[in-house]
Amino acid sequence: MLRAPMKTGAVLLAAFAVTLGACSDGSGPSTLSDVLTQSQAAEISADAAGDVDELADFSSFDPSTGMVVTAAGAGPRASFAPGCVTITPDPVVNSDGDAVPDSARFDYSDCAFSRGNGTVTDSLSGTIDFLDPLPLTTSLGVRHIFTNFTRKRDNTAFPLRSFTAVHNGTREWGGNADTLGHTITGFSTLWTHPSGRTTSHTKDWVAKFTATTPGTISLLTPIPAGSFVVNGTGTWMTLGRSWSVATSTVSPLIYDPTCLVAPRFTAGELSLVVTRNTNVTTVTIDFTGCGQYTVTRTPGATP
């Protein structure tokens, strides 16, 4: 889930060390401070691109580690340190005998792995409850409940690619060997950017993944090449202000499992309509290659 810098011409993140202030409900009179700035457009794009990219890692299941960290996480498939994941209950209950237990909590105790000759260190902490949505029927699908599940990356070679993301909420996916459907409900991610600025993105999304080659999706292996379509609503917050966000897919996001830099999309376009009071800004994210995207900010007229 590597968050790559944007290409030349994209907006650079502002380098301010600021902590998240008190929430604002956005119900007061419209002011210029309600308009999304260039640097904020860059940050919300980075958050949304990271959130969409994570759909890939949470589209499969590993009975020993829960989540499967793949290419952008730490190589083709990361190896967790022995004992860093605790699963309860032990033994788990699995009524239908498929790979997913009826209900099991995976506790990640500072699971860490390095790559790039030690220049990149990824770590996981917190808990995820993995539940079988159909515990009495063999099926392909998982429900997750995240509690302070934290993904942290330290990149000494490229510090702007470092981040910390804390996840809370519920998400579920299921389907067949051709397609997967994702439902993300009240799911919140608190991002800490390399500058020190903190942003949060809470969302209710519905997503669909379609494999390029039908029949290639498997519960226990990372997802193959394919495309994502994501739509929904949410709230984005920074510097004590919150904006409502309507997310839609203009053209499908082409997922490349061989890409080693997130976001792992080689094409596609995502639109974010961002509103606070009467001020509307459209942010367009064009994915142009492995780990690369451009951002276009279009302020709207005040109604």
Task: Give per-residue pLDDT as tens, 64-109.
Answer: 888 876 544 444 455 677 788 999 999 999 999 999 999 999 999 8
267 close to 20: Cβ distance less than 8 angstroms: no
Average pLDDT, the chain: 84
Q: Is residue 14 included in any domain, yes or no?
A: no
Tokens of 200: 């949060």
Range of the domain at 180: 32-299
Which CB contacts under 8 angstroms, 24+ apart, belong to 182-187? 182/55, 182/58, 182/59, 182/206, 182/207, 182/208, 182/209, 184/232, 187/146
Q: Is residue 1 included in any domain, yes or no?
A: no
Q: Is residue 95 included in any domain, yes or no?
A: yes
Number of domains into which the chain is organized: 1
Q: Is 69 helix (H, G, I), strand (E, B) or coil?
A: coil
| Residue the block writes with tokens 């509103």 | 275
- Which amino acid type is present at position 294? T
Pairing type for strands 265-276 and 279-289 reads antiparallel
Q: Is residue 199 included in any domain, yes or no?
A: yes
Q: Is residue 15 included in any domain, yes or no?
A: no
Closest CA to 194 of 35, 46, 45, 10: 46
57 close to 78: Cβ distance less than 8 angstroms: no
Q: Within 10 Å of residue 92's Cβ, how many Cβ atoms?
A: 15
Q: Is residue 272 included in any domain, yes or no?
A: yes
Q: Is residue 25 included in any domain, yes or no?
A: no
Ranges of beta strands (E only) in 193-289 are 198-211, 226-238, 241-255, 265-276, 279-289
Write the pLDDT tens digit of every residue in 152-173.
888 888 887 788 999 999 999 9
Percent of the chain whose predicted confidence (pLDDT) is above 90: 60
Q: Is residue 83 included in any domain, yes or no?
A: yes
